Structure 1
Amino acid sequence: MVDAALFPALETLLAVARTGSVGAAARQRRITSSAVSQQIRKLETHFGIKLFERAGRGVRLTATGETALPVVRELWSGAESAFGQLAELAGRPATTLRVAASDYLGKGLLAPVLRDLLDEDPPMRFEIVTTHSRAGVRLVAEGDVDLAVVTGQETPRGLEEQHLFDQPFVWVGPRRGRDRTPLTVRLRREPVLRLAAESRGRALLDQYFADERIRPVSTIDVPSVSLLLSYVSGGLGIGLVPALALAEAPADRVVSAPARVPALPVSLIWRPSARRQPALARLASLLAGAGARAGARLARRSR
């Protein structure tokens, strides 16, 4: 028999597992630290298992807790989905969609879709996390977001994927008047702008340099495509960016050229139970349409 009184404790378990701290979980749940500890003890006593153990100043899951965590995540996701569907039937969405995307996919793909959803009645509510694609997949797997828009990531077991389009990459650099020197030549003598080490764009850049045996004279590491383009439009640095991001690059200050690196797939990643939420299914459908249009535009540009 399901003990409904344990549901708040299950949410607390997820918060403690996510943060590794009773205090941080308490702040997220907006309850006291003692209430967090009491709820964890309630679960442990009810099931006769030990879920957490001390680790330095925080806590970590025991082996039993690690085994139980995916089951609890799936249960909680199913509960959220059920409440969302009931709320949709009543005409008032009760859930907030949580979406992760990198900055360029957020601007070029996600934001236009979300703007349209704001005009619906009732409007959709959402929380957006801007992060690189690898972290986006991890957030979905851990239940911290419902859906992620990612570039070039393998889908972990237990998650589902929908391919949107293949993303080519381009070189970008400051426009130098009448100078027509290829960017692949200029990057050997000008500063090179590099994305975060965990990004797929950075991996492509590093592989290109290794294949061409190029050692940059100077490097500037930036956390996002938007900041990289800001450096370029300000007159400094050569970088490798997704072609979709060129829409925000001022043509009078930035020159671009196709890069001979592999195109990467852009996909939606979600947990199967989350897809049962009507609001999430609608968002995924709209993103699929937007992705198809973006892919068609990029294909026309490359001809």
Structure 2
Amino acid sequence: MERVDRLTLQQLRYFLAVADTKHFTKAAEQAGVAQPSLSKQVQSLETELGTPLFSRVRGNVTLTPAGEVLLPIARRILADVDTAHHEVAELVGLRRGRLRVGATPSLCASVFADVLSRFHKAYPGIRLLVEEGGSRDLSRSLLRGDLDLALIIVPPEGPDPALTTRVVLREDLLVASAASLPPLVNRPTIRLIDLRDRSMVMFRQGYDLRETTIQACRGVGYEPRLAVEGGEMDAVLRFVEAGLGVAIVPSMVLANRPALRGIPIAPPGLSRTVALAQRTDVPPTNAARAFSDVLLAYLETL
């Protein structure tokens, strides 16, 4: 077995050339090598296998029983190698492959869907696997190797040092309320202290906007009064539309939501930083690089 493990693809190609032409000189011409070099490689193959592969009698070259056994195996091996080269070339050329990407629910509800659509149109052969979750969960998925890229919200203390991040968006946060109810204030902006006596709709535990909202309220001296909590972005927006309370949300999620009214927060306001993250110790795939380019190009149009 150890001898067979030292077979080379070149030896198999030369073997097939001789088997097909039944002539060493013609086989060498077909392979584009000198006849002595081809003969030497075939002899090395026979030595490795421990048996002659060709019978050479009076200029006639025929396969021995061992050669007959090797012939279909060699064809299959070389065909598999050619297939492997082709498939890897397709992957490198972004014709096939897989990309695992993640984003927070608020980003999935706003920019992410359009970016995915653009990427799929440009690279239809790349299969997209999407994970929706909070930034902490997405960061853990990246570090486990379950994701290639993720759009995360950069926490105040900064991203995990094991991740490489690129800031792609800074987004203002607004106070959302039901458009069917009277405006919260008769001013163009609202102060956080104005929400002291307002019921709030709160995101689930571990959600980035939950922490942002609670810390902002505590920063001006009060604990938010929660009417309902525990939802993802779509649920929170629907609860606000129903008049259950107000919520602090990214400005982008209010697009195409006529049942909601958004009012900016008075200076210094609130904002969040969105970054594209990946593992530092793993170089990005070609598909990941292409996705980054599509994302940045799309954000430039906003």
TM-superposed deviation, 1:259: 2.2
Match of 1:255 among 252, 261, 266: 261
C-alpha spacing 1:230/1:254, structure 2 compared with 1 (3 Å): same
Q: Map Cα deviations across residues 163-190 of structure 1 (whole Å, 9 max, x no partner).
A: 1021211101112455553665774344
Unaligned runs of 5+ in 2: 1-84
Letter in 2 for 1:123: G
**Percent of residue pairs bearing the same amino acid type:** 20
For residue 88 of structure 1, the aligned residue among 85, 88, 91 is 91
> How many residue pairs align between the two structures?
210
1:4-15 superposed matches below 5 A: none
Q: Does 1:145 align with 2:147?
A: yes
In the alignment, residue 231 of structure 1 is paired with which amino acid? Answer: F
Indicate whether 1:191 and 2:199 are aligned. yes
For residue 270 of structure 1, report the CA deviation from its aligned partner.
0.8
| 2:161 partner SS | coil
TM-score by length of 2: 0.61
Contact 1:152 1:200 in 2 (8 A): no
Given that 1:141 and 1:271 are in contact with CA atoms closer than 8 Å, whether structure 2 keeps it comes out as: yes
Query: Deviations 1:71-102 (Å, cap 9, x if unpaired)?
Result: xxxxxxxxxxx999644247641x32111111
Cα offset for 1:202? 1.4
Please report how far the alpha carbon of residue 249 of structure 1 lies from its aligned counterpart in structure 2 after TM superposition. Answer: 2.4
Please give the alpha-carbon distance, in whole angstroms, between the structure 1 residues aligned to 2:119 and 2:138: 22
**Which of 208, 211, 233 is equivalent to 1:200?**
208
Question: What TM-score does the superposition give when structure 1 sets the normalisation length?
Answer: 0.61
Give the alignment partner of residue 135 of structure 1, picking from 134, 137, 144: 137
Alpha-carbon distance in structure 2 between the residues aligned to 1:144 and 1:232: 34
**Aligned mates of 2:113, 2:212 — CA distance in 1:** 26
In structure 2, how many angstroms separate the alpha carbons of the residues matched to 1:240 and 1:255? 12
1:165 matched to 2:173? The reply is no
Q: Is the 8 A contact 1:196 1:222 kept in 2?
A: yes
Q: Is the 8 A contact 2:228 2:244 kept in 1?
A: no
Query: What is the aligned partner in structure 2 of residue 111 from structure 1?
Result: 113
Do the aligned partners of residues 108 and 178 (structure 1) sit closer, same or farther apart at CA in structure 2, a change above 3 Å counting? Answer: closer
Aligned-residue offset at 1:121: 5.6
Summarize the Cα distance change of 1:150–1:90 in structure 2 as closer, same or farther, 3 Å threshold: closer
Comparing 121-130 with 215-224, greater Cα deviation is found at 215-224
Misfit runs of 4+, over 6 Å: none
Amino acid at match of 1:139: S
Aligned to 1:73: none
Q: CA deviation at 1:273?
A: 6.1
In terms of fraction of residues, the more helix-rich structure is 1
**For the residues of structure 2 that align with 1:217 and 1:104, how far apart are their CA atoms?**
22
**Is 1:133–1:199's contact at 8 Å kept on the other side of the alignment?**
yes
Indicate the structure (1 or 2) with the bigger Cα radius of gyration. Answer: 2
Instruction: Name the structure 1 match of 2:237.
Output: 229
Q: Which residue of 1 is the match for residue 29 of structure 2?
A: none
- Residue 117 of structure 2 aligns to a residue whose secondary structure is helix
Matched to 1:211, the amino acid is G
**Maintained 8 Å contact 2:214/2:223:** no
Is residue 155 of structure 1 aligned with residue 159 of structure 2? Answer: yes
Partner SS for 1:293: coil
Tell me by how many angstroms 1:277 deviates. 1.4
Q: Match for 1:284 among 267, 289, 292?
A: 292
Contact 1:191 1:237 in 2 (8 A): yes
Deviation of 1:213 after TM superposition, in Å, equals: 2.5
